[in-house]
């Protein structure tokens, strides 16, 4: 008397789905979709005016402002104001320069040890007097 322990005989139907052909069909459809899509261009078309051939570039004046660690503001090599933190003379100088046409560029070069308060006050003074062309120079020394 022998018993069949395997539980499954040869009479059962195998219900597995072969997914390999389905994946192949999906890959072919994906490739065809990619090939048939129009190429995407990321260009923005602008109607710009033609360049003026005889226009001369005017070299603008530069004002080099340095800020020392003790708070002294130096305008093109000349210290401004009697005491650090006195921005009245600096305001007057900015007011004179703001009336020029074209306005000079301000090249601000603070020391790495200068206080942020002094730098912010110099920039605020330039902004109050309507100076619009200002930037920091030699900022590579701050990359630590």
Asked whether the predicted pLDDT for residue 121 surpasses 70, the reply is: yes
- For residue 75, the cross-strand partners are 65, 78
pTM for the structure as a whole: 0.57
- For residue 105, the cross-strand partners are 62
Do you know the residue count of the chain?
144
- For residue 80, the cross-strand partners are 73
What's the alpha-carbon Rg for the chain, to the nearest Å? 37
User: What domains appear along the chain, each with residue ranges and CATH number?
Assistant: 62-139 (3.30.420.270)
Predicted pLDDT at 82: 64
Main-chain phi, psi angles of 80, to 5 degrees: -110, 135
Predicted pLDDT at 66: 92
Cα gap 138→19, rounded to integer Å:
64
Predicted pLDDT at 62: 92
For the chain, give the percent of residues with pLDDT over 70: 84
């Amino acid at each position: 008397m022998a018993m069949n322990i395997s539980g499954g005989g040869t009479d059962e139907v195998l219900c597995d789905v072969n997914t390999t052909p389905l994946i192949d069909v999906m890959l072919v459809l994906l490739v065809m979709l990619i090939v048939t899509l129009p190429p995407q261009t990321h260009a923005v078309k602008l109607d710009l005016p033609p360049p003026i051939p005889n226009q001369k570039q005017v070299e603008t004046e530069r004002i080099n402002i340095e800020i020392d660690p003790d708070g002294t503001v130096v305008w093109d090599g000349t210290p401004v104001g009697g005491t650090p933190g006195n921005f009245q003379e600096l305001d007057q100088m900015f007011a004179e320069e703001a009336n020029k046409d074209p306005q000079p560029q301000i090249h601000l070069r603070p020391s790495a040890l200068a206080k942020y308060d002094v730098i912010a006050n110099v920039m605020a003074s330039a902004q109050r007097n309507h100076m619009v062309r200002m930037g920091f120079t030699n900022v590579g020394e701050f990359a630590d």
